[in-house]
Structure 1
Amino acid sequence: MPISKKLLETIRQVIPPLNGTLHKGQSGRVGVLGGALDYTGAPFFAAISALRFGADLSHVICSPTAAGAIKSFSPDLIVHPILREDSSPDKVQPELKSLLSRLHVLVVGPGLGREPYMQNYAKMALSLARSQGMFLVLDADALFLIGQDIELIKGYRRAVITPNVVEFKRLSEALGVDPKTDADKRAAEVSRALGGVTVLQKGAKDMISIDTTGPNADLESSKLEGNDSDKEKTRESVEVDVEGGLKRCGGQGDILSGTVGTFLAWGRCYEDGAFGDQSIPASRMPLLAAVAGSMVTRTASRRAFYKEGRGVVTQDMLTEIGKSFAEVFGEDAQGQDKGKL
């Protein structure tokens, strides 16, 4: 279904107010796990996009081989080079667990790579995050990881996956989804096979689906949310056809991961009572986050392409995120006085 006015209004309710009532951290503490020797741009783009979208704090958890470059990209990011190839899981786990306990959401995958030690640390992080009831975003090589072991994420309804065309095809095959399924229903089938994980299928139009009607819809998430899983059986799909740029530059998916991550962090703050009336159940947050992140990222892509044309690069999108947020949700959501613009 298209984006309804009711859905947009629900999304707006989760946006933290900019009225001076919140202190540092109550508008989201985001973690991005990724960044090894060959990949430093992706975790940077995800983490800095989280800040540009409106998070208060953004952390990058990475290998020491990537930390120096990521730190040099921006002093606004908090970089933790704890994923050492020459270390052991027993040494890293306590530090990683302590770090995750201070965050609202974990984005896993940007710049993760497929080196065994990084993949193993990602598995550890997913297990710790689930045990702490964190919201999760999985992209890039984190999707390769769960394709090898579906149980890492199966049934965890506080997660969003963001596959591109190739990643979605690979994951669909791993899950046994019938390739003859109608294109507009495949994301829902993947969600169902994963036990209710929200799927953001990237493409010419982004398709966002959640299906908790299958036998694998757990439930660990329901226990964490204090819900009766039998009352949470649902199937919902939203098509985001907001105009984007005509060139798809590498790194745009990392921006999407960061924006979705920030909204999920807001969802956790909302859930914890930092603002709002808590009338929106936590089970709605992944879909709301996916829709909001998709709309803003596509708008930023369009605005950057309009200015730079064929030469547009991901960095051009960063300064458009705040303006795109205001365009999508209104200047009031930015806390700006229209009369002074």
Structure 2
Amino acid sequence: MTDHSVKKNPASIPHSIWHADDLRYAEKEAADSLGITLYELMQRAGEAAFRVARAAFPGASRWLILCGHGNNGGDAWVIARLAAAAGLQVTLLALESDKPLPDEASAAREAWLNAGGVIHAPDSIWPDNIDLIIDGLLGTGLRSAPRDAIAALIERANAHAAPIVALDIPSGLMAQTGATPGAVICATHTVTFIGLKPGLLTGKARDVVGTLHHTALGLESWLAGQDTHLTRFDASQLAQWLPPRRPTSHKGDHGRLVIIGGDQGTAGAIRMTSEAALRSGAGLVRVLTRSENIAPMLTARPELMVHELTPQTLEEGLEWADVVVIGPGLGQQAWGKQALQKTENFRKPMLWDADALNLLAINPDKRHNRILTPHPGEAARLLNCSVAEIESDRLLSAHRLVKRYGGVVVLKGAGTVIASDEAQGIIDAGNAGMASGGMGDVLSGIIGALLGQKLPLYDAACAGCVVHGAAADRLARYGTRGMLATDLFCTLRRVVNPDVIDVEND
């Protein structure tokens, strides 16, 4: 079975993420501070990528190397020289330009020629027996769709049977946004250098990055002292959010959560949210819903407290609650609107999802005690723009949502983005099996439960998304097709107890 999600060696991938433009300036500053030339960094990059390619494809002896006209191409010149020196059969195609090569790339080109290397035109006939392609066409400076000549090479490489190793970033993938405005390399492996770029983790990244590798090129000490204000979150960090509970703790210590929703025909949404909250450690969960939902919910999950939503039960519930989750199955009719109007002035932590977001788009307001969890369609309604605009720059879209609505925003999708006024993060967990109905309802319950366990809004959002994705990743061993939102209930308990030894896997 082919799995197109980004794979990686967790120990090798940093948690700090760099703005793509900042990283270009930082590269020179770091090299200068350590007395390293940029050409030396280029050689280190080529050597690192060469080692990855050799380790991943030890039997590949006939390499096709595609060189662009920038420093990404310079890395490819270095690899070509190393491959030839190792006795491999190398065919190198290089793009032409009226502009001179950057100094470092020019030096790498000369080293290739001095070693007896041959340069072929980009429209040359490819050898029949290629068994590995190196992509050094475009780097992190991409601002628009690749030009026709480059797009033709990209499409030809993708159509070839040989695996592709991309240098720094797959050509055609935008380093800051993960958008693909035109043709893009579908890499089998990507070796990224120095700092991690956002576009490798969100947007279309999971379709095209393949297995991700990272090397700091010897700049680890300098990088460690930099604050990038953008963080990659994964399952390795769960213990920092979810320490072991005190032996004397009781249910009141772990949050009283009220969940509001489940209009006629949507009882499943509120049912999934409420059980997810219990499975994620909420102390007490009270559900306010339609009267016809009470018996089925109590039958399925007797640990819940389920009541009909009326003005009186809503007032009592808000007085009792530490945290409110509203929106799953809420609907946009008078029943749901009235509940939201009564709830919106709740001063403790809240999470708004689903129809609460659709109603918010109609009557916008700004609050700082609230987490919003839109998918791209809901985000587009909240910002009065198209889904394509949201997806063209997910980090910017999340920032705009925070600026307009306040609090913390969880922009869901492959590479979920978390944003507040002070910080942004990208969730590096989850898989394609989560593209099914009800997953968002489960996420709302998880985050609501963590709010009740006294995590701050931003931390609860980050931890909740990691828990959600990690629970699904544990299920993915059985395949991603056919995964149900309720399947996560059997793995959630394990994931929210990171201190417990995993007997199944260890």
State whether TM-score is above 0.5.
yes
1:322 offset after TM fit, Å? 1.4
Q: State how far apart, in whole Å, the 1-side matches of 2:283 and 2:391 are.
A: 44
CA contact (8 A) 1:110 1:141 kept: yes
Q: State how far apart, in whole Å, the 1-side matches of 2:423 and 2:493 are.
A: 28
Q: State how far apart, in whole Å, the 2-side matches of 1:55 and 1:103 are.
A: 12
- Residue by residue, what CA displacement relative to the aligned partner does 1:116-169 show, whole Å, maximum 9, x if unpaired? 122212221223x2xxx2100000000011111112xx1x21110000111111
**Helix, strand or coil at the partner of 2:423:** strand
1:293 aligns with 2:461: no
1:39 aligns with 2:266: yes
1:137 aligns with 2:364: no
Q: State how far apart, in whole Å, the 2-side matches of 1:187 and 1:325 are.
A: 26
- Residue by residue, what CA displacement relative to the aligned partner does 1:267-322 show, whole Å, maximum 9, x if unpaired? 27xxxxxxxxxxxxxxxx11101100100101112223333642221111111111
Q: Which amino acid aligns with 2:298?
A: K
1:208 aligns with 2:418: yes
2:361 to 147, 169, 173: 147
- Residue by residue, what CA displacement relative to the aligned partner does 1:11-34 show, whole Å, maximum 9, x if unpaired? 756546423221221111111100
Moved over 6 A (4+): 178-181, 337-341
Q: Which amino acid aligns with 2:361?
A: G
1:169 aligns with 2:380: yes
1:48 aligns with 2:275: yes
Q: What's 2:3 paired with?
A: none
Q: What's 1:116 paired with?
A: 334
CA contact (8 A) 1:244 1:299 kept: no
Which runs of 5 or more residues in structure 1 are unaligned? 84-91, 212-234, 269-284
Q: What's 1:190 paired with?
A: 401
**Helix, strand or coil at the partner of 1:267:** coil
Higher relative contact order (CA 8 A, sep 6+): 1
1:338 offset after TM fit, Å? 7.1
Q: Which amino acid aligns with 1:291?
A: C
Q: Which amino acid aligns with 1:135?
A: P
Q: What's 2:423 paired with?
A: 236
Q: Which amino acid aligns with 2:261?
A: G
1:247 offset after TM fit, Å? 4.5
Q: TM-score by structure 1 length?
A: 0.73
1:65 offset after TM fit, Å? 2.8
**Helix, strand or coil at the partner of 2:399:** helix
1:252 aligns with 2:439: yes
Aligned residues: 274
Relative distance call for 1:8 and 1:288 in structure 2 (3 A) is farther
1:324 offset after TM fit, Å? 2.4
Q: State how far apart, in whole Å, the 1-side matches of 2:390 and 2:444 are.
A: 26
**Helix, strand or coil at the partner of 2:285:** strand
1:157 to 368, 373, 384: 368
Identity value in percent: 27
C-alpha RMSD of the superposition: 2.7
- Residue by residue, what CA displacement relative to the aligned partner does 1:239-260 show, whole Å, maximum 9, x if unpaired? 1122334351101101110111
Q: TM-score by structure 2 length?
A: 0.50
Q: State how far apart, in whole Å, the 2-side matches of 1:166 and 1:339 are.
A: 40
Q: What's 1:277 paired with?
A: none
Q: State how far apart, in whole Å, the 1-side matches of 2:259 and 2:452 are.
A: 12
Q: State how far apart, in whole Å, the 1-side matches of 2:275 and 2:391 are.
A: 39
Q: State how far apart, in whole Å, the 1-side matches of 2:269 and 2:391 are.
A: 33
Which one has the largest radius of gyration? 2
CA contact (8 A) 1:59 1:77 kept: yes
Q: Which amino acid aligns with 2:263?
A: A
1:267 aligns with 2:454: yes
